[in-house]
Amino acid sequence: MPSLAAEPIRTRADWPDAIPGATTRRRAFRGDVVELGCDVVVIGSGAGGAVVAAELAEGGLDVIVLEEGGHHRTEDFGADAGAAVRRLYRDGGAQMALGSPPITFAEGRCVGGSTVVNGGMSWRTPDKILERWRREDQVAGTGDMERYFERVERFISARHQDPWTVGRDNELLREGAERKGWAVIPNIRNQLHCAGTNNCAFGCPTGAKRSTLVSYVPRAQAFGARVLADCRVDRVLLEGKRAVGVAGRALGPDGRPGPRVVVRARGVVVAAGAVQTPALLLRSGVRSPSGAIGHGLTLHPNAKVTAIFDEPVEGWKGVHQAYQVREFQDEGYLMAAVNIPPSMLAMTLPHWGPALREVMAAYDRAVIAGILVEDTTTGRVRQVGGRPLVTYALSDLDLQRLVRGTSLLCELLFEAGARRIVLPFEGVADLHGPDEVRRLFARPIPREAMEVVTVHVMGTARMGEDRRRHVCDSFGKVHDADGLWVSDASLFPSPIGVNPMETIMALATRNAERLLEGWR
């Protein structure tokens, strides 16, 4: 068994004095500096970072994980969505990719990263995507992913739901799909006897969802990794083209900026997510021969509809996304029922005043369902004034696919018995029957009227073997740099059309394996 005396996760209350192995250098100007040393420092503790950290630590390396967000535990999670978005999400969950329409996106910022707030869908990378990566991006080893998927699935407990956790909203979605004769499958989720509390987006209050907070992070600790929360990395330290550590800042106990932190390491793994990773590389002065750091952002645009039924649905009772409609996967659409709390629904509905009140009064009879599109265009992350600036211009083609996908979803929901559907398009009247679905195509929907959101950001430090096109090699090592790796959603050379967490984790596992092989 691993060491029972695993180091606890250190938080802002511990900086700087209780950080193991730290020495504080007193400075007359610009504050004290806390210094640490290790073999590999990992930035971020989400799907990519926690997996790399655990594998490297088990492989015998001395690992430090630096996480900008706080450490919140299972007992801290509950139904207060307002508090959860403030504590667990970056910028209160209100980030935006600029463009027409602007696209709201969300990322976790806490120990466990976005895996703490995600829906838990755990899907392997589709074969056609792996094949595309091999063919178009010369990504090596795509034929040998099986064992990485298996390993990840074991540690995160990826499996089907217990049937009694499926709520009425999901059954209605399934019934609608089956009546249409469309393919619909039960989702695989990373859960250990999920209770169906429908609280995944605000932290799992039972610990059933095997986010990295309760899986890979404790595993990393068990093999000796030090996990330091409330510490934001500002720069990767470079000597020439070699990464030699990182510099950042910890939060003080009062939540204000605390001591400066320097971690010296022989290896630096950046796993800060597909928005923060390129921003960090750019502000550190990392140069890629590809010139592509921050380019290639894809984000699986989503749109949601709210369907009102006559029968009680109580969509908050039962796990969300128990099923996925896969009928149109080849065309690049997925559909699922995704209950959200009243606050989030009211915020995003295109109504206000009495019209909003009327829809909200039917909240307990609502099925909220969404469509995810595999996008065909890319956006960009720039670095402006120390913060990332995200731009993304939804293509005409994807816009049409969002409208077509939405109309298909409406057909399904009317088939299931919906009486009224509120669309994600401002200025377009609600639909009251299947005949009205045609209206969606009758006149074009202006871009700015569309409410588009996403929770999947990918592809801003792409992997592949062509250093003129790709930022990283097939195993996450930054081309033309030494001692510097990326291991998160930034690596994807293209969108994958399914939920990305398991792909990120499997890639992180093989990146760690490769790093261990080359470690001297």
Partner 1 sequence: MPEASPPPELPPARLPRRLRATVGALARAVCDPPDDVAPATYERLADDVERFLASLPAAARLGLVGALWAFEASAALVPSSRLRTYSRLSPRRAAAHFGRCWESRALHPLAKILKMVVAFAWFELPEVKAAMGYHPERWIAEASRRRLAAWATEVRRGEAAVLEPDPLRRPAAPAPTEVADALAGR
Ligand X SMILES: Cc1cc2nc3c(=O)[nH]c(=O)nc-3n(C[C@H](O)[C@H](O)[C@H](O)COP(=O)(O)OP(=O)(O)OC[C@H]3O[C@@H](n4cnc5c(N)ncnc54)[C@H](O)[C@@H]3O)c2cc1C
Q: Is 117 in the site for ligand SF4 (CB under 6 A)?
A: no
Rounded to a whole number of angstroms, the minimum distance from the CB of residue 220 to partner 1 is 10
Specify whether the CB–CB gap between 509 and 491 falls below 8 A. Answer: no
489 binding partner (options partner 1, ligand SF4, ligand X, none; Cβ < 5 to 8 Å by kind): ligand X
Distances (CA, A) of 199 to 131, 202, 319, 352, 450: 36, 6, 8, 26, 27
Q: How far is the CB of 516 from partner 1 (least distance, A)?
A: 7
Residue 106 contact partner, candidates ligand SF4, partner 1, ligand X, none, CB within 5 to 8 A by sort of partner:
ligand X
Using CB under 8 A as the binding rule, whether residue 275 contacts partner 1 is answered as no
Q: Which is nearer to ligand SF4, 120 or 273 (CB)?
A: 120
In the complex, the smallest distance separating the C-beta of residue 199 from ligand SF4, rounded to whole angstroms, is 4
- C-alpha pair distances (Å), 78 with each of 110, 197, 203, 213, 363: 16, 10, 7, 16, 20
Answer with the entry of ligand SF4, partner 1, ligand X, none that 43 interacts with (C-beta below 5 to 8 A by kind).
ligand X
Distance CA 402, CA 299 (A): 13
Among 39, 171, 180, 192, the residue binding partner 1 under the rule CB under 8 A is 192
SS (H, E, C) 457-508: CECCCCECCCCCCCCECCCCEECCCECEEECCHHHCCCCCCCCCHHHHHHHH
Q: Which of residues 281-340 bind partner 1 (CB under 8 A)?
A: 316-317
Return residues touching ligand X (CB under 6 A).
Answer: 43-49, 66-69, 106-109, 113-115, 117-121, 201, 232-233, 271-274, 276, 280, 455-456, 488-489, 499-501, 504
- Work out how close the CB of 208 gets to partner 1 at its nearest, in angstroms, rounded to a whole number: 7
Kindly tell me which of 125 and 161 has the beta carbon lying closer to ligand SF4: 161
Site string for ligand SF4, 309-338 (x = CB under 6 A): ----------x-------------------
Largest Cα–Cα distance in the chain? Answer: 74
Of 182-190, 205-213, 291-299, 411-419, the window that binds partner 1 (rule: CB under 8 A) is 205-213
Q: Is 246 helix (H, G, I), strand (E, B) or coil?
A: strand
Task: Find the binder of partner 1 among 21, 82, 289, 433 (CB under 8 A).
Answer: 82
- Of 173 and 208, CB closest to partner 1: 208
The span from the CA of 460 to the CA of 462, in Å, is 6
Strands 484-486 and 257-270, sheet pairing: parallel
**Could you say which of 196, 245, 459, 497 contacts partner 1 (CB under 8 A)?**
196
Q: Does residue 470 touch partner 1 according to CB under 8 A?
A: no
Residue 342 C-beta: closest distance to partner 1, Å: 4
Using CB under 6 A, count the residues that bind ligand SF4.
Answer: 14
Which of residues 168, 174, 210, 479 is near partner 1 by CB under 8 A? Answer: 210
CA distance 157 to 143: 23
Region binding partner 1 by CB under 8 A among candidate stretches 3-11, 34-42, 236-244, 497-505: 3-11
Q: Are strands 295-297 and 379-384 parallel, antiparallel or unpaired?
A: antiparallel
Tell me whether residue 456 is one of the annotated catalytic residues: yes
Q: Which residue is nearest to ligand X (CB)?
A: 46
- Exposed, middle or buried, 391 (CB in 10 Å: 0-12/13-18/19+)? middle
Site for ligand SF4, residues 451 to 480, rule: CB under 6 A: none
Q: From CA 447, how far away is CA 306, in angstroms rounded? A: 20
CB 343, CB 365: distance < 8 Å: no
Within 8 A by CB and 6+ apart from 152, the residues are 51, 158, 502, 505, 506, 509
Reading the block at residue 395, the tokens are 């293509």
d(CA 214, CA 202): 15
Chain residues 184-203 in contact with ligand SF4, contact rule CB under 6 A: 191, 194-200
Q: Residue holding tokens 């207060």? A: 80
Q: Mask 118-157, x = binds ligand SF4 (CB under 6 A)? A: --x-------------------------------------
Q: Is 135 in the site for partner 1 (CB under 8 A)?
A: yes
Nearer to partner 1, 144 or 396 (CB): 144
Distance of CA 372 to the CA centre of its chain: 14
Closer to partner 1 by CB, 224 or 417: give it.
224
Label the pairing between strands 231-239 and 242-251: antiparallel
* Residue found under tokens 């670095």: 383
Given 320, 456, 470, 479, the catalytic residue: 456
Measuring CA to CA, which residue among 497, 129, 108, 132 is closest to residue 300?
497
Nearer to ligand X, 67 or 153 (CB): 67
Closest separation between CB of residue 171 and ligand SF4, Å? 15
SS3 296: strand
Q: Does position 204 bind ligand SF4 by CB under 6 A?
A: yes
Q: Among 45, 114, 118, 157, which residue interacts with partner 1 (rule: CB under 8 A)?
A: 157
Q: How far is the CB of 312 from partner 1 (least distance, A)?
A: 10
CA-wise closest residue to 506 among 493, 488, 494 = 488
By residue count, the chain amounts to 520
Binding partner selected for residue 263 from ligand SF4, ligand X, partner 1, none, CB under the kind-specific 5 to 8 Å limit: none
Residue 91 site contact among partner 1, ligand SF4, ligand X, none (CB < 5 to 8 Å, cut-off depends on kind): partner 1
Spatial distance between the Cα atoms of 130 and 503, rounded to a whole number of angstroms: 10
Query: Contact positions toward ligand SF4, by CB under 6 A?
Result: 120, 191, 194-200, 204, 206, 208-209, 319
Q: Catalytic residue positions?
A: 456
